[in-house]
């Protein structure tokens, strides 16, 4: 519970803020906190406002500092990250929490729970042999994630105020009288940052689909295995991580596995199956939305329905253009409900979308489409 002195300190800290992205580090290892601090101190637009060793301390620091970003470990003494997360978000509701997780099945499972509780992204802890210094892939991933989550217009200012409201960027809906408006034969979903929560919300509200659904969510290996399991728990729809040669069947969901691009192809009997591609990243992503959308269009054509949910970057923009040019439909999540309006914003601003909707309206929209 906040005390009067806590509130005074909170106001004081916020008023002393800057236009830099303010980051709180939470990890029981001082070595890891130090390594993260050294990486981030290389960037002029980032400021470490506090570094603490457990979840209990994180709650106190979040209350006082109101940071833009919190990078939090999961397993810690005194109070772990999962226990602390709801209280951290309650005391600092505008903070974006990134979970710092180990690349294990257990770590992936717990991280997915954290994402369902309000964390917006996960970053995998590098192994001891992985470079993390200047120019490393880890450094680039970390800083791009932080900057993507806190655009300049939302960074801490010099006066105490709420985070500025999002100003909706302009876009126009696609008006194509020849576009297919019947029942789709396939649903294709692309998502990234903030995607797991969005997927859970959408898929639990579409009813019982009698067509296949394919999903590309930007996540590493092991995490996508757990993502499929969590999707099934939330939606009650049979869900699987895609594997080589797996048949694509009606009424089931298939998630692209981390580290592979997932494509749809037809075998010699014209049955649709999954093909995994180990090619290079596309738009810096592997899996990428592009090969999934593109390959699906070769089979389903204009009867494929595209859905673009929250995420950084513009992965899927090229194949989305192909989709609408073939007479298919694409819908996207709106800016206000997106954690990051990158992927959905790219297709919306390109004029490719039949509809741009708040997250809670996307599931019902798909359900209506499935009813024909």
> What is the spatial distance between Cα 61 and Cα 83, in angstroms, rounded to a whole number?
16
DSSP reduced 3-state for 99: strand
Q: Tokens at residue 185, please?
A: 């034969």
Pairing of strands 261-266, 272-277: antiparallel
Let me know: does 24 contact 85? Beta carbons within 8 Å. no
Residue 103, number of CB atoms within 10 A of its CB: 16
- The answer to whether residue 161 is catalytic is no
Rg (CA), the chain: 21
Determine the angle formed by the axes of helices 105-116 and 223-235, rounding to 10 degrees.
Answer: 40
Among residues 10, 60, 192, 235, which one is catalytic? 192
> What is the spatial distance between Cα 153 and Cα 173, in angstroms, rounded to a whole number?
25
Let me know: does 239 contact 231? Beta carbons within 8 Å. yes
Q: Tokens at residue 297, please?
A: 């269009």
Let me know: does 336 contact 168? Beta carbons within 8 Å. yes
Among residues 13, 277, 315, 334, which one is catalytic? 315
Task: Give the torsion through C-alpha atoms of 291, 293, 297, 300, to 10 deg.
Answer: 120
> What is the spatial distance between Cα 79 and Cα 81, in angstroms, rounded to a whole number?
7
- The answer to whether residue 68 is catalytic is no
Peptide bond into 25 cis (omega under 30): no
Among residues 218, 230, 234, 283, which one is catalytic? 218
- The answer to whether residue 230 is catalytic is no
Positions marked catalytic: 192, 218, 315
């Amino acid at each position: 519970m906040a005390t009067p002195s806590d509130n005074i300190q909170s106001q004081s800290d916020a008023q002393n803020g800057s236009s830099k992205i303010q980051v709180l580090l939470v990890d029981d290892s001082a070595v890891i906190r130090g390594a993260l601090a050294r990486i981030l101190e290389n960037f002029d637009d980032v400021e470490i406002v506090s570094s603490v060793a457990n979840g209990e301390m994180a709650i106190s620091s979040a209350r006082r500092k109101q940071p833009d970003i919190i990078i939090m470990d999961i397993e810690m003494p005194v109070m772990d990250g999962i226990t602390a997360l709801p209280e951290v978000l309650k005391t600092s509701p505008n903070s974006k929490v990134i979970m710092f997780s180990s690349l294990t099945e257990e770590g992936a499972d717990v991280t997915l729970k954290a994402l369902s509780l309000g964390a917006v992204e996960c970053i995998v802890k590098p192994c001891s042999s992985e470079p993390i210094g200047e120019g490393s892939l880890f450094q680039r991933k970390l800083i791009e994630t932080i900057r993507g989550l806190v655009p300049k217009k939302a960074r801490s200012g010099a006066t105490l105020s709420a985070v500025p409201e999002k100003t909706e960027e302009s876009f126009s809906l696609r008006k194509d009288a020849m576009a297919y408006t019947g029942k789709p034969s396939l649903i294709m979903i692309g998502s990234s940052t903030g995607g797991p929560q969005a997927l859970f919300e959408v898929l639990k509200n579409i009813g019982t689909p009698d067509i296949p659904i394919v999903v590309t969510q930007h996540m590493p290996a092991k995490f996508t295995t757990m993502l499929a399991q969590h999707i099934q728990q939330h939606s009650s729809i049979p869900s699987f991580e895609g594997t080589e040669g797996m048949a694509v069947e009606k009424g089931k969901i298939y998630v692209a596995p981390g580290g592979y691009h997932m494509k749809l192809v037809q075998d010699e009997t014209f049955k649709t199956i999954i093909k995994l591609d180990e090619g290079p990243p596309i738009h810096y992503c592997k899996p990428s939305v592009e090969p999934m959308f593109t390959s699906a269009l070769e089979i389903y054509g204009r009867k494929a329905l595209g859905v673009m949910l929250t995420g950084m970057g513009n992965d899927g923009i090229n194949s989305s253009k192909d989709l609408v040019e073939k007479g298919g439909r694409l819908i996207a999540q709106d800016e206000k409900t997106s954690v990051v309006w990158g992927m959905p914003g790219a297709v919306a601003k390109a004029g490719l979308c039949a509809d741009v909707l708040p997250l809670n309206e996307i599931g019902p929209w798909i359900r209506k489409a499935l009813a024909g």
